[in-house]
Chain A
């Protein structure tokens, strides 16, 4: 069965430091991977996705993610964190290679950036 795991419930980082939010996946066939962010009292916003091609994907707000097939990971990164990056982050994977829309979401990681 397809699944996605976010092993950390919360990540704390000081402003200006690099941040990493971890995601690992399990799918049969090729994975289609997404990151979304949820700010307080808001819906989810798309950050970036990996479908095929370059393993390093760049997205909105200076975020990037690296697809690592051997480690089945798709970690979200940012070189220098901002307080405004504090939010809930979700990793998602497609469960159906013929319908990339149908996503399985992780449980979410709360990022807290301290001034």
Chain B
């Protein structure tokens, strides 16, 4: 089974702090994604990556950056956290071998005070 893990289930940070959210997948997938999930808005794509050291902006990249130094790991960085970044963050991975189906991690609920 594909396994996508995220470093924290719950995280509380203060405004202005630098925040790192880590995501690791164990199926050698080429593609990795970061979404945020908010009530009434569904999932919105923040950033994605099709290969190591490669990144592309999604629909709402402002205030975020990403890093993919290794194929299995995709990090989301909030350079200076703000209260409007309080949300559920979901990581996903996929590959051609998975038929382009995205597999999701359990999510990190981030609260910025």
Contact = CB atoms under 8 A, between A and B. Distances in A.
B90 A44 contact: yes
A90 to B, nearest CB: 6
Interface string B50-93: 00000000000000000000000000000000000000001010
A3 B35 CA distance: 17
A49 B4 CA distance: 20
Interface stretch (A11-19, A73-81, A95-103): A95-103
A31 interface: no
Q: Main secondary structure on chain B at its contact with chain A?
A: strand
Given A43-B90, A101-B31, A90 B43 contact: yes
Contact of A102 (B40, B45, B103): B45
B48 interface: yes
Given A90-B42, A108-B42, A43 B105 contact: yes
Which residue, of B4, B40, B94, B100, has the highest number of chain A Cβ atoms within 10 A?
Answer: B100
B12 interface: no
Given A101-B31, A101-B94, A102-B48, A44 B104 contact: yes
Interface of B: 4, 31, 33, 35, 40-45, 48, 90, 92, 94, 99-107
